[in-house]
Amino acid sequence: MPELPEVEVTRRSFAQAIEGATVVGARLGKPLRWPLGVATESLVGARVGAVTRRGKYLWLPVSTANAEAGGLLLHLGMSGSLAFNAAALASDSVPGAHDHFDLQTDRGLLRLTDPRRFGAVVWSDALHSGPAAKLLAGLGMEPFDPRFDGPHLYAGLSGRRVAIKLALLAGDIVVGAGNIYACEALFLAGIDPRLPAAKLSRPRAQKLALAVRGVLARALDAGGTTLRDFKDAHGVAGSFQMQAQVYGRAGDPCLVCGTPIRRIVQGQRSTFFCPQCQKR
């Protein structure tokens, strides 16, 4: 599943090219997770603004031909990806079976491909109202927000009985710590993923907050993680998987102490950790 680094890498790979473009056509294929909420023909003539990201959602603001402001909120779901082809026209690029949304602009074609169709493209009149507001309401703080620190994390974990890794994955305290990155951050902070969240001390919360931010920053620099088929909007794969210290390394020696890395299942997700370096 594309996580925050992959979504942000995708955004960076096409945002500058599409900003200021005029929509000349739009196509909706098979139904996605939620209805588009607007007729595709009403997007023709709209001007695309600066593409931003909130959590794992992308926001494409547009001003329509009749001067109505709004935008498209996109989510890549479990298997979705966006491609931007500056040279392509809709008439030249026949959609495949898994190509479910096209936004044709005078600067190129933006296409959403999603084999499992858990992704979404939803019209909203603003980020702070309508469908967008509802979908974004439960998201936690951005990991690169200066306010995200140890005290914020400690307060958010207070009273939670679930394991610390599951609390990170919930996304209501901080967004972006997906399965791979939660495993790596907990290893970097020396924290056992099975530790009850409420038992994390203030000093360890500060260490974990720094680890989450550091791991996600390195993932961005590496272009995200490509385990199966993730690529940015220009078809470039990520390489963070080559830096993973615990994720996917079950049975391999820990790069710090040599103890075999363990794999357990938490919340139906694989967790990898070093039983020696990570303490409860």
Higher pLDDT among residues 81 and 92, named by residue: 81
Task: Report all structural domains of the chain as residue ranges with CATH numbers, in order of start.
Answer: 4-136 (3.20.190.10), 150-273 (1.10.8.50)
Is the pLDDT at 67 greater than 50? The verdict is no
pLDDT of 271 over the 50 cut: yes
Alpha carbon distance 87, 197 (integer Å): 50
Average pLDDT of the residues in 145-152? 97
Q: Indicate which residues carry an active-site annotation.
A: 2-3, 56, 269
Which has the higher per-residue pLDDT, 118 or 238?
118
